[in-house]
Amino acid sequence: MVGVRRPLANLGNMVAMIIGSLFFAVSGPLAAGEDAQFSQARAELVATIADRVQETRSYLGKSKLDPRVMAAMAAVPRHKFVPKNLQSAAYENRPLPIGHQQTISQPSLVAMMTDLMELPADCHVLEVGTGSGYQAAVLAEFCASVHTIEIVAPLGERAAEVLAELGYDNVQVRIGDGFAGWPEHAPYDAVIVTAAATDPPAPLLEQLRPGGRMVIPLGGRWRTQELVVIEKAADGSLSRREVFPVRFVPFTRDED
Ligand code: SAH
């Protein structure tokens, strides 16, 4: 029996090897080359982000970000979240258009905003302004759950598809006006808003747990905006600090 089984097993291995090498010959080198090229560019982007953090340390109050945030920046394939024709620019440290007059944010800003959320382990977070889904993916790298809301339906749908393809099954995307938040899953450890509002939406502040933080760009459509961190103390009182000036697309409402 053993004598029979062995050759069969070997034959099976050989078939698997042949199939494997055929598969490699057809799709392997190209895909592998592309991935290597993107991961090299991504490593360089992470180094650029570290430099930007150093330069911004007087605003941030630190010269290094949370290692979990840096690891997430090193892991998330940003090229999957930008339009195909812009993939070669995906690892430059700048925002890029994603259609519908919206943008994927600058990577160093994504990293700094994520760090400013000061997230606990097993974090449970809300994002308003899914856009490409990139910021949600960065959060999903180390959070237990990410709920994200996008007002432009085709953007939200596309983001949900990309996130699912990449296996981020801890992210839920909802299409709609994020002003009211997502009360069913509240309270959140942190809320991040990635579009500029004039004031922090009251429902989002309510959905923050005591000790939680909101990171939000505040300022008018055409005026200077400031990135603001709002902290909710254990007694529910709010305090805010401005971090640095930013420029975001406007927070819109359904009636806009
Ligand atoms: N976080 C995104 C950046 C997206 S730009 C990324 O990583 O790619 C901001 C997004 O906020 C836009 O897609 C815009 O459509 C969305 N937005 C603006 N107002 C909104 C609102 N009231 N509710 C939900 N999304 C909103």
Closest approach atom of ligand 1 to CA 105: 3
Q: Angle CA(52)–CA(200)–CA(218) in degrees, nearest 5?
A: 40
Is residue 23 very low, low, confident or very high in pLDDT (cuts 50, 70, 90)?
A: very low
pLDDT of residue 20: 42
Per residue in 175-224, pLDDT (tens digit) is 999 999 999 999 999 999 999 999 999 999 999 999 999 999 999 776 78
Spans of all domains in the chain:
2-246
* Dihedral over Cα of 114, 119, 125, 128: its sign: negative
Domain 2-246, second-level architecture: 3-Layer(aba) Sandwich (3.40)
Q: How far apart are the CA of 95 and the centre of ligand 1, in A? A: 13
**pLDDT greater than 80 at residue 110:** yes
**Distance between CA atoms of 207 and 214, rounded to whole angstroms?**
10
Residue 18 has pLDDT above 90, yes or no: no
- Decide if pLDDT at 14 tops 50: no
* C-beta neighbour count of 115 within 10 angstroms: 19
DSSP 207: T
The residue nearest atom 18 of ligand 1, judged by CA position, is 251
Q: Whose CA is nearest to atom 4 of ligand 1?
A: 131
Centre of ligand 1 from the C-alpha of residue 108, in Å: 18
pLDDT by residue (tens digit) across 133-157? 999 999 999 999 999 999 999 999 9
* Interatomic CA distance for residues 32 and 27, integer angstroms: 8
Residue 31's pLDDT is what?
Answer: 57
Q: Which of 101, 102, 127 to mutate to test the pocket of ligand 1 (most atoms within 8 A of CB)?
A: 102
